[in-house]
Amino acid sequence: MAYYKKFVHLVFMFSSAEPLIECVPNFSEGRNHAVIDAIADAIRQVPDVKLLHIDMGYDANRTVYTFAGKPAAVAEAAFQAVLTAAKLIDMRQHHGEHPRMGACDVCPFIPVQHISMEEVIALSKSVGRRIGEQGIPVFLYEFSATSSERQNLAYLRKGEYEGISDKIMQPEWQPDFGPQLFHPTFGMMALGARKFLIAYNVNLDTKDLQLAKNIAREIREMRMQSGNSKAHRTLQHVKAIGWWMEAYNCTQISTNITDIFESPIVEVFDIIRATADRFGVAVAGSELIGLIPEAALKHDRMSPQEVVSYLGLDSLKPFDLQERILERLLVKV
């Protein structure tokens, strides 16, 4: 709760007294524009919801949607989006760089203003129950999780889609909602309430995938270490994998930053760059997936635009602050 109050105080200072939440579902389709558009339309058709951003990744074969609005409306939009994905995505045909376990792989709800994490947890469970009633196995994660293991998305994704048919029949893999059966076209999904998260990828000037994986493993090992080192402390809230991005003709260190205050994005970039340098690899800018709060771009010596340039966020494609900073879009909701 201390984190939530800090986040709201620093980032979301709106005049509206109405509760506001955000939803950032990830769908396992990044190539078929008709499917991507259909999911977007399912979100847009719900009143009191604003679709803020769509981030489509061809190599990852994954699309991240960001929308926000009144809690009940956001819950309905998420439900409709998942139902649309269930009709249009067949996981038996899915291949991509990003780890995944379902047509809607993960669906997080994030408190923005005038609503507690506890209320968002309750809302996530109501959405999960509705989705489960459609025959889809739903596992609650993060703050909504019903066990300590299930808090971790990586635990739920273990074995990915291909491993579901075996593990879901084990007693410990009883879904929180929906049948304990393998759903061949959908797979299974994670759903829950969480803090704000930044999906952030650093580009490496190498095509050597094994080198990228080695650098990511080093980052993960630093994350697991404790002590007084600034690098260790900064990386406590960073998850990392190495992968190849054909569209960009480079490898990346793909990260999730789960605490933007304890693990500032500039410090994360600097540590990854220093780690890559030890492996004899240079970095070539970076990439943001989805949106970022303005607080995450604040720096003692740089303006937000200078931070964008320092990180090379415009190295792969244009980066418009007006279109990528969350609260600049939320004021229009």
Active site residues: 98
Instruction: Establish how many alpha carbons lie within 13 A of residue 284's alpha carbon, considering only the half-sphere containing its beta carbon.
Output: 13
Contact 106, 112 (CB under 8 A): no
First to last CA, the chain: 25
Alpha-carbon torsion 307, 311, 315, 321, what sign? negative
Residue 195: how many other CB atoms lie within 10 Å: 18
* Six token digits for residue 276: 């890559």
Provide CB contacts within 8 A for 273, sequence distance 6+.
202, 283
Contact 310, 266 (CB under 8 A): yes
Provide the 3-class DSSP secondary structure of residue 14: coil
Residue 195 amino acid letter: K
Alpha-carbon torsion 151, 152, 158, 163, what sign? positive
Closest CA to 276 of 229, 211, 198: 211
